[in-house]
Structure 1
Amino acid sequence: MFLDPRDDPREGGSSLGDERATLVEFLRCQRLTLQIKCDGLDPEQLARRSVEPSTLSLLGLVRHLADVERSWFRRRLAGQPDVPPLFYSDDDRDGDFTGAIPDPDVVAEAWAAWRAEVAFAEQFAADTDLAFHVEYRDGEVISLREVLVHMIEEYARHNGHADLLRERIDGRLGE
């Protein structure tokens, strides 16, 4: 087992609840899964790339997901479009991954950014009606409910990548 079930922070959350409680709990567990997959690794291991020519790494996933959180919750839903991306730019669209280098300061910055964006998203979701919606692309409208579902999918997909990356680093398997 990757983690003793008695020590799993994903256990003990809301199991029966309304739609909000269910969505928030599933997203909480997906976020924790990313953190668990990275726990105990040093900067070199976190920045280790999957296979050439891919730039995929666990550290890159943390940076990428910090920007995804920021983009959906802060820039789109909270109406802060001028808040710049954290790790990518127009000049380096893949900067969240290419900038994921084995440096303790880069690792600390990534985790601090991810935690700040998750905290913002959690507070926004707690304070906002699920039906709240914004126009976000060519007249398309998206609700908080849809963003929460999308974020669960986004984390689930990338946690699959994290499973493979972690197995390659130290052979650990599991949830």
Structure 2
Amino acid sequence: MAESPADLAAPAADRPTQNFAWSNMFVHPDDDPRSDGNHYDERTILVEYLRDQRLTLELKCADLDAEALARRAIPPSKLSLLGLVRHLAEVERGWFRRTMAGQDAPKLYCSEADPDGDFDGAVGDPEVVAEAWRTWRAEVEFAERFVAESDDLGVTGRHGGGEVSLRELLVHMIEEYARHNGHADLLRELIDGRVGQ
């Protein structure tokens, strides 16, 4: 029997309790691998903010087994941390390989028959998890290399019937990760009560 919204809001023995303390955060501020800002030129600002968002995704998924990574949010949502990793690999690939580099790079998980394949295929299998991280890291590496080798943030790629600049794409990617890292905050809290930072 499905739980009602009132049931989901009520405390339950099998749900984690929220605990806000440094010991329950992902990393102590002194050990945080993300930057603390203080960037002055446009390229560095965009590259470092995107780097920090990517690191945040990794932090939200740290120390979880395959089953926990594949745990879905409240039905009917298909969201899971593993699904987000797969989805963001797909997003990185689409924007940087296809749009900006003009590569023939087929979709990784999604298809016409399964447009939500990135989330549908996010199952609690260690091999699926390992493959998702390998793929995500490969797509991030390609994107970082593409940006580093681009002389100008005004370089454009073809998207739909128009063009998009690398500058605009970097801003979009920061927004994309920030949105999904908000989802990841809630997913992680649902799994073990750890709260975001």
Instruction: Pick the structure with greater CA Rg.
Output: 2
Q: Confirm or deny that 1:66 pairs with 2:119.
A: no
Counterpart of 2:105?
83
Identity rate of aligned residues, in percent? 64
Paired AA for residue 55 in structure 1:
K
Q: Matches of 2:131 and 2:149 in 1, distance apart? A: 27
- Match for 1:124 among 140, 146, 158? 146
Shift, 1:17, TM fit: 2.4
TM-score (norm 2): 0.85
Paired AA for residue 146 in structure 2:
F
Aligned length: 172
- Match for 2:42 among 10, 16, 19? 19
Shift, 1:90, TM fit: 1.3
What are the superposed Cα offsets for residues 31-69 of structure 1, whole Å, 9 maximum, x if unpaired? Answer: 000000000000000000001111100000000000000
With over 3 angstroms needed to count, the CA separation of the structure-2 counterparts of 1:102 and 1:136, relative to structure 1, is same
Counterpart of 2:28?
4
Counterpart of 2:9?
none
Unaligned 5+ segments in structure 1 are: none
> Residue 177 of structure 2: SS of its match in structure 1?
helix
Shift, 1:6, TM fit: 1.3
- Match for 1:97 among 119, 140, 157? 119
Which 4+ stretches in 1 moved above 3 angstroms? none
TM-score (norm 1): 0.95
Shift, 1:134, TM fit: 2.1
Paired AA for residue 23 in structure 1:
L
Q: Matches of 1:16 and 1:132 in 2, distance apart? A: 22
What are the superposed Cα offsets for residues 107-155 of structure 1, whole Å, 9 maximum, x if unpaired? Answer: 00000000000000000001112000123112x2100000000000000
Q: Matches of 2:133 and 2:50 in 1, distance apart? A: 17
- What root-mean-square deviation, in Å, do the aligned CA atoms of Structure 1 and Structure 2 show? 1.0
Counterpart of 2:74?
51
Unaligned 5+ segments in structure 2 are: 1-21
Q: Matches of 1:147 and 1:170 in 2, distance apart? A: 34
